[in-house]
Amino acid sequence: MDRTNARHSRVACIQKRKLRRLVVPDFQLAEELRTMAKHRMDFWQEVHLENKYPSIYLDGHYEIIKELCAALLALDGWESSNHECMFAHINEAYAGIDIDFGYLFDLKDTRNAIDYRGVKISPSTWQDNALKIMVTIDALGKEVERRLKTIRYPDQPHPLRGPL
């Protein structure tokens, strides 16, 4: 996906008040979201019913991605009222991380079909997506960890504000 796609523009989200600046970055919220994402990941690594419940697996892993993105938003001092604007912020603020943002928007649509319309996906659909989902979770998790470390040990520049 083109990183400047107008449909998913950070600027458009700010103008529509779907992406709002916090008074200060929320480090505690970021840590809590990171911890919850780790708990969810631990859970999904223990449960081995992906062939029986592939829709639940996809939905559960999407939640991990969402929590890690929300943690990055909190660290940057932003909040979003929808997932598209959250992804738009991450897309534009973290261009250096290797994530297919077009895929994230498609994954959101699949997750919404599961959650809001009761769509069920096949085990093969889960298997076709599992590796890309895990790679995305890994990249986001590493970025959250790096940012939290930067906050604790402010010797690295912040991607939006420059040197701390």
The residues, ordered by sequence, that sit 6+ positions from 135 with a Cβ below 8 Å of its Cβ are none
Q: Is residue 25 part of a domain?
A: yes
- The position carrying tokens 């909190």 is 74
* CATH code of the domain containing 21: 1.20.120.330
- Which one has a higher pLDDT value, 70 or 158? 70
Q: Is residue 85 part of a domain?
A: yes
- Residue 23 is predicted with a pLDDT of 82
Number of domains in the chain: 1
The predicted-structure confidence for 33-59, as pLDDT tens digits, reads as follows: 999 999 999 999 999 999 999 999 999
Q: Is residue 157 part of a domain?
A: no
Q: Which of 45, 47, 71 is nearest to 134 (CA)?
A: 45
- Residue 19 is predicted with a pLDDT of 82
Q: Is residue 162 part of a domain?
A: no
Q: Is residue 160 part of a domain?
A: no
The pLDDT of 131-148, averaged and rounded, is 95
Q: Is residue 95 part of a domain?
A: yes
Q: Is residue 22 part of a domain?
A: yes
- Residue 152 is predicted with a pLDDT of 62
Q: pLDDT-derived band of residue 64, with 50, 70 and 90 as boundaries?
A: very high
- Please spell the DSSP secondary structure of 63-122, one letter per residue: HHHHHHHHHHHHHHTEEESSHHHHHHHHHHHTTTS---HHHHHHHHHHHHHHHHH-----
Q: Which of 68, 116, 85, 107 is nearest to 17 (CA)?
A: 85
Q: pLDDT-derived band of residue 7, with 50, 70 and 90 as boundaries?
A: low
Q: Is residue 11 part of a domain?
A: yes
Tell me the residue range of the domain where 50 lies: 6-152
The pLDDT of 66-72, averaged and rounded, is 96
The predicted-structure confidence for 85-137, as pLDDT tens digits, reads as follows: 889 889 888 888 989 988 999 999 999 999 999 999 999 999 999 999 999 99
